[in-house]
Amino acid sequence: MDIDKLFKVPKLPQSKRKLPDNPSPDMLKKIKMDTETPPVPGSSASPANGGAKGKRAVTMEEVPDDEDADMDTDDFAPGGDADYFAEEDDEGRFFGGGLTSEQKEILNIFDSAGTSGTQDDPDALSITSIRRMLLRFERAVNKNQDQRSKYPDDPTKFIDSEADLDSAIKALLPLAQAPVLAYPELVKSGAVVLLIGLLSHENADIVIDVVEVIHELTDEDVGNEAEEEDEERTSEEALKILIEGLLENSILELLVDNLTRLNEAEESDRQGVFHILGIFENILGFNPELSTQLVAKTSIMSWLLARIQSKTHNENRGYAAELLSILLQNNKPNRLELGKKDGVETFLKVLSQYRRRDPVDADETEFMENVFDSLCSALSEEPIKALFLAAEGPDLMVLIMKEKLQARSRAIKTLDYAMSGSSGTALCEAFVEALGLKTLFSAFMGKTSKKQKSAPAPPASEDTSHILGILSSLFSNLPSESPARIRLLAKFVEGTYEKVDKLLEIRDNATSRLKAADAEIEAEKKELVANEEEITSEEEDTWYLRRLESGLFTLQTVDYILAWIAMEDDGASTPTCFDRLLIAHQQIRAHLLQMMDRKGLSLRDIIQTLRTFYDNVDDEPDPPPTAGTEERAPSQKEILAALIAALDPSTVSDA
């Protein structure tokens, strides 16, 4: 008998169960019951039956219940937590991550896949990756063209290549973050030509993708992440290269053609129109001179005028009005083209809807303001003023002013632009005939309707400035012996000369603001002299502009009006016909001199302001002859000289 074999400890059973990753409480309880149950005599586990002799006993002896803490930590972490024994705080307490080893491994796989699948950081784009991206785009374009030409009547044959082209186009969006490297390569590689060629693609969705990419690439903020000024300047140069490449391939014409092609009833098409308008704004923001080319070579003006007439308001309607305002700003050819397209009539038709109602929200308010601004810009041209008069524009503006809604301030501004200059004579007469004087002076005095008496408010400073401009134009343009001028002067007699007192009040406020600005400017001059620095003409011009903004402009306009109403009648009028004109002049002059004397002022102060005005008025070309006559209207400088001479004959030679 081999004693060693008899007492040799058997090996652990190979079929020993291990804890699953996340055992349930019932399973743990069952396993514990199995290990605590003693062998039943006569069972297969009993040594007496010869089955697995002593295995259960030895197993129980090897892993007793009170030594469970010595088990493999990987198998007995609570919940199978893979990090239970790996993570601990400073005091030695264990927390763990709450994830099993299997769950942790799965998450690591996903993290690795996500990292490898993400697109490269745009800031890290290299010339190699850019060329690879453009090559992929070129292949997608060529493949789609080839498939469409082979199977023009079977979309199933080219649908896959269309999807690939869609992805290749959208993959170009990150190039906007690296303009210095990408834009020259876009032009050099011919990708710009392919991109613009896709604007004629049969699939409108492809066109919309291209428009979105071009909108992003031409954004004015491209490359602004660069911190150094040199890099920013390089970004501007790169943007210039791209825009020139786009223009060389007739992008303006193709974009306008797509405006009529897209159906804004569809959301995607509506977004496409928005991006097209955005491209125009980006290009014009980079080079405003292109606005003339855009209007002359395309039908954009007609489309915009039709678009703003839509009954329902949305962001594209507002964008169209904004683009119109940009196209007409400081651009005479575009303003004249507006007149040929019946643009003035269109503007008045759109603005008439705000006569009795306010815009519903901020977006529509901005739309309304852009239409008013467009009309004001166009009214700088004499032909537009004639069209405005023919379309009864003054009558509509007076009606809008009477309603005292949000559009009132914009109507006052429009009348100021329309009636200014020697070409505004007919409009001034039409304004008086439309009973505009009563409405104008009501706004000037800050009077409100019965509905608004609970919260009276004086006119805003901008309104006051434009009202003074209208009064200035009325005195300049209305014939001296006309009924319209008599009605104008009579308004200053009404209400015990309250309009004259209001003018003096505005004058006092403007003088106070101007004195503060003059003190600052004088201090700056003394500092320059102390530092022995020369005062240049540019600095003098800058100071004059500051004075204008700080009250000098208002002071000049008020004194110009006061000079007109204080000027002595020259006796040329026939007393039997114009007694009221003479009496009005005398009464207003007497009241004005009395009120100025109380303030320690005299006509000398008005004359001094007019002389400053005269010295800074540019020599304008001779105004055109007045309509229906061969006589030319006097210039602004000639009118000022005449006023100064009338108030103080001793200054004739000086002026």
Q: What is the pLDDT of residues 473-526, one digit of tens each?
A: 999 999 888 899 989 988 998 888 999 999 999 999 999 999 999 999 999 988
Which residue, among 299, 317, 429, has the nearest Cα to 368 in the 3D structure?
A: 317
C-beta separation of 370 from 318 below 8 A = yes
* pLDDT at residue 554 tops 70: yes
Please give the Cα distance from 63 to 137 (Å, whole number): 67
**Contacts with 151 (C-beta within 8 Å, 6 or more apart), sequence order:** 157, 158
Residue 88: strand pairing partners: 94
Please give the Cα distance from 506 to 564 (Å, whole number): 17
Which residue, among 147, 200, 189, 198, has the nearest Cα to 170 in the 3D structure?
A: 198
SS percent in the chain: helix, strand, coil, step 5: 70, 0, 30
Q: Between 165 and 230, whose confidence is greater?
A: 165
For the ranges 101-110, 395-404, 540-549, 639-648, the lowest mean pLDDT is seen at 101-110
Please give the Cα distance from 457 to 308 (Å, whole number): 33
Please give the Cα distance from 13 to 161 (Å, whole number): 62
For the ranges 152-161, 326-335, 542-551, 615-624, the lowest mean pLDDT is seen at 615-624
C-beta separation of 588 from 489 below 8 A = yes
**Contacts with 42 (C-beta within 8 Å, 6 or more apart), sequence order:** 48, 49
* pLDDT at residue 651 tops 70: no
C-beta separation of 611 from 644 below 8 A = yes
Please give the Cα distance from 282 to 262 (Å, whole number): 21
Residues belonging to the chain = 655
- Mean pLDDT computed over 154-169: 87
Can you give the pLDDT at residue 609?
93
Please give the Cα distance from 372 to 353 (Å, whole number): 13
Which amino acid appears at position 132 of this protein? R
Phi-psi sector, 79: left (phi>0), alpha (psi -120 to 50), beta = left
Can you give the pLDDT at residue 69?
45
* pLDDT at residue 623 tops 80: no
396: tokens are 């509509």
Can you give the pLDDT at residue 573?
43
Can you give the pLDDT at residue 291?
95
Q: Between 326 and 17, whose confidence is greater?
A: 326
C-beta separation of 63 from 6 below 8 A = no
Each domain of the chain, given as residue ranges in start order, spans 3-85, 122-287, 496-623+632-651
Residue 142: strand pairing partners: none
Q: Between 97 and 348, whose confidence is greater?
A: 348
Q: What is the mean pLDDT of the chain?
A: 80
Can you give the pLDDT at residue 529?
85
Can you give the pLDDT at residue 578?
53
- Mean pLDDT computed over 378-399: 96
Residue 81: strand pairing partners: 100
For the ranges 97-101, 141-145, 650-654, the lowest mean pLDDT is seen at 650-654
590: tokens are 């007497």
Banded pLDDT at 34 (limits 50, 70, 90): low
Angle separating helix axes 251-261 and 267-286, nearest 10 degrees: 150
Banded pLDDT at 2 (limits 50, 70, 90): low
- Mean pLDDT computed over 360-381: 95
Banded pLDDT at 619 (limits 50, 70, 90): low
Name the 3-class secondary structure at 203.
coil
Which residue, among 9, 61, 53, 63, has the nearest Cα to 31 in the 3D structure?
A: 63
Please give the Cα distance from 82 to 97 (Å, whole number): 7
Percent of the chain with pLDDT over 90: 53
Banded pLDDT at 551 (limits 50, 70, 90): very high
Can you give the pLDDT at residue 589?
86
Which residue, among 461, 614, 640, has the nearest Cα to 551 in the 3D structure?
A: 461
Rounded (5°) CA angle 528-529-530 = 90
- Mean pLDDT computed over 150-157: 81
C-beta separation of 21 from 80 below 8 A = yes
* Cα–Cα separations (whole angstroms), residue 362 to 105, 276, 507, 546: 53, 23, 34, 32
Banded pLDDT at 88 (limits 50, 70, 90): low
Digit-coded pLDDT (tens) for 265-275: 999 999 999 99
Please give the Cα distance from 318 to 367 (Å, whole number): 5
Can you give the pLDDT at residue 648?
76
Banded pLDDT at 391 (limits 50, 70, 90): very high
C-beta separation of 188 from 135 below 8 A = no
Banded pLDDT at 653 (limits 50, 70, 90): very low
Q: Between 627 and 474, whose confidence is greater?
A: 474
At which residue do the structure tokens 């008086």 appear? 432
Rg (CA), the chain: 43
Please give the Cα distance from 526 to 329 (Å, whole number): 40
Can you give the pLDDT at residue 33?
58
At which residue do the structure tokens 């089955």 appear? 51
Compute how many other C-beta atoms are within 10 angstroms of the C-beta atom of residue 548: 16
Can you give the pLDDT at residue 556?
95
* pLDDT at residue 66 tops 60: no
* pLDDT at residue 65 tops 80: no
Can you give the pLDDT at residue 461?
79
Residue 94: strand pairing partners: 88
* Alpha helix positions (H), 25-88: 25-36, 55-62
Banded pLDDT at 324 (limits 50, 70, 90): very high
Within the chain, what is the greatest distance between any pair of CA atoms? 162
- Mean pLDDT computed over 336-348: 96
Q: Between 261 and 231, whose confidence is greater?
A: 261
Q: Where are the beta strands (DSSP E) in 284-413?
A: none
- Mean pLDDT computed over 182-201: 93
Q: Is the dihedral of CA 618, 624, 625, 627 positive or negative?
A: negative
- Mean pLDDT computed over 114-129: 59
Compute how many other C-beta atoms are within 10 angstroms of the C-beta atom of residue 606: 25
Please give the Cα distance from 175 to 192 (Å, whole number): 13
Task: Kindly tell me the burial class for residue 198, based on how many C-beta atoms sit within 10 Å of its own C-beta (0-12, 13-18, 19 or more).
Answer: buried
Name the 3-class secondary structure at 42.
coil
Please give the Cα distance from 272 to 201 (Å, whole number): 14
C-beta separation of 368 from 354 below 8 A = yes
- Mean pLDDT computed over 162-187: 91
* pLDDT at residue 356 tops 80: yes
Number of H helices, E strands in the chain: 30, 0
